[in-house]
């Protein structure tokens, strides 16, 4: 008889064998091959790393011809256990050439991630022992899902209260629809819609965490003054160059989302060689712009931008490989709730019939190691996510 052991079962299985307790971490470090892809490594460094990985029982995949250093930079796919990587890092730490220290730092960061958190400007800290559920409040007449539109003030305050009661950790308030093909509204109209709502929610729910969904620096600044805590920028600060200044000055966290073009024309910009890698590299670069201005990692959240300048297959790849974004040391947000990709996959169902598909995307976010999902249906998503978390970590109960 044989039992197949998954990685969630491994700690209990190791302990149950009866081996000496001090040996358990050693066995755990040998239990799983962890693929890591290094981008644009100096070719001599790639050859050195390959030889070192082979010497310790791992491997490194390099392009044909890399050994001759015909090109200056190559990508490298590493295949090793945690134990192998620890040995590799000890060796790389003795090699101060060919930019190997940067490679070692990247590997170390991926294998030994810091505890993720988000620090608000007022000092409150969001931690991610459990998935954070962000509830959507659209103060618009034309958002793609009619059930998310809350144009009346008394209705939005009531809806927000329900979301908080049902488990929302953040409320995201937006005053402009960014569905594919939508026309923009001017900043004055956007502020007219969202600022009174943010002020009302801050008064009604003083402990709530509020996010403003805007790509305009003026709106973000006014929203923060009205009581918002987080900026959710679909353009990753590209639409308004002053957005970075607002982040630095306010010390408010920002969500950086990947998009090409504008909501009006973005679906004409879906050409990628490798959508997962290109989105990941872009977001890391946008985050680095803030880091160079002194913004800490606890002020940055990454969002791959499901449905923004991506076709159905690209959206599915990004959700499948969402774990790729988790290697940079920033919280990751998945915002796929009721989007058209779900409708297409489920046979053309309208937004009103996409709840089950949305729940599947939220559960995938848990498996991928993301920290946050942005959803229309807070209660259903919270219940589904908490149930999966309980099955993955039953020792908490």
Distance CA 351, CA 346 (A): 11
Q: What angle do CA 101, 103, 104 make, to 5 degrees?
A: 65
β-strand 117-119 against 300-303: which pairing, if any?
unpaired
Among 159, 374, 383, 396, the active-site one is: 374
Tell me which residue of 369, 359, 373 sits closest to 392, measured CA to CA.
369
Candidates 273, 347, 349, 348; CA nearest to 314 is 273
Is 374 one of the catalytic residues? yes
From the list 339, 354, 383, 386, the catalytic residue is 339
C-alpha to C-alpha distance for 366 and 388, rounded to whole angstroms: 8
Compute the distance between CA of residue 325 and CA of residue 306 in angstroms, rounded to an integer: 13
Please report which helix (H) or strand (E) contains residue 61, including its range: strand 59-61
Mark whether 4 is an active-site residue: no
167 phi/psi in degrees, rounded to 5: 115, 5
Q: Which DSSP category does 330 fall into?
A: S
* SS3 state of residue 257: strand
CA separation for the pair 100, 56 (Å, rounded): 18
The rounded distance, in Å, linking the Cα atoms of 395 and 260 is: 43
DSSP secondary structure, 183-222, as one string: PP--HHHHHHHHHHHHHHHHHH-TT--EEEE-S-HHHHHH
Burial class, 113, CB count within 10 angstroms (exposed 0-12 / middle 13-18 / buried 19+)? middle
Mind telling me the catalytic residues? 339, 374
């Amino acid at each position: 008889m044989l039992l197949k052991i998954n990685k969630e079962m491994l700690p209990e299985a190791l302990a149950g064998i009866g081996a000496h307790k001090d040996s358990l971490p050693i066995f755990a470090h040998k239990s799983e091959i962890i693929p890591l892809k290094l981008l644009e490594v100096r070719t001599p460094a790639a050859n050195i790393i390959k030889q070192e990985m082979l010497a310790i029982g791992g491997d490194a995949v390099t392009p044909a011809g890399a050994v001759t250093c015909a090109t200056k930079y190559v990508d490298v796919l590493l295949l090793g256990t945690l134990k192998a990587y620890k040995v590799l890092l000890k060796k790389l730490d003795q090699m101060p050439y060919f930019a190997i220290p940067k490679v070692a730092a990247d590997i170390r960061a991926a294998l030994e991630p810091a505890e993720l958190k988000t620090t608000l400007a007022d000092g409150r800290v969001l931690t991610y022992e459990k998935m954070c559920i962000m509830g959507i409040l659209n103060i618009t007449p034309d958002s793609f899902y009619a059930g998310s539109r809350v144009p009346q003030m008394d209705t939005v305050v009531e809806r927000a209260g329900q979301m908080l009661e049902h488990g929302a950790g953040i409320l995201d308030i937006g005053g402009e629809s960014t569905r594919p093909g939508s026309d923009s509204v001017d900043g004055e109209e956007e502020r007219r819609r969202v600022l009174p709502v943010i002020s009302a929610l801050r008064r009604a729910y003083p402990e709530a965490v509020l996010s403003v969904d805007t790509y305009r620096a003026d709106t973000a600044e006014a929203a923060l003054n009205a009581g918002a805590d987080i900026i959710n920028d679909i353009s990753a600060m590209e639409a308004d160059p002053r957005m970075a200044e607002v982040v630095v000055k306010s010390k408010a966290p920002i969500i950086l989302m990947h998009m090409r073009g504008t909501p009006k024309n973005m679906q004409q910009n879906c050409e990628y060689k490798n959508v997962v890698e290109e989105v990941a590299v872009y977001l890391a670069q946008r985050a680095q712009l803030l880091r160079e201005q002194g913004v800490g990692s606890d002020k940055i959240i990454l969002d791959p931008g499901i449905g923004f300048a991506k076709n159905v297959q690209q959206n599915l790849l990004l959700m499948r490989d969402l774990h790729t974004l988790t290697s940079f040391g920033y919280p990751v947000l998945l915002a796929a709730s009721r989007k058209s990709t779900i409708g297409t996959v489920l046979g053309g169902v309208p937004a009103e019939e996409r709840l089950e598909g949305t729940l599947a995307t939220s559960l995938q976010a848990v498996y991928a190691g993301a920290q946050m999902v942005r959803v229309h249906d807070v209660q259903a998503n919270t219940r589904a996510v908490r149930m999966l978390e309980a099955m993955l970590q039953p020792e908490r109960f």
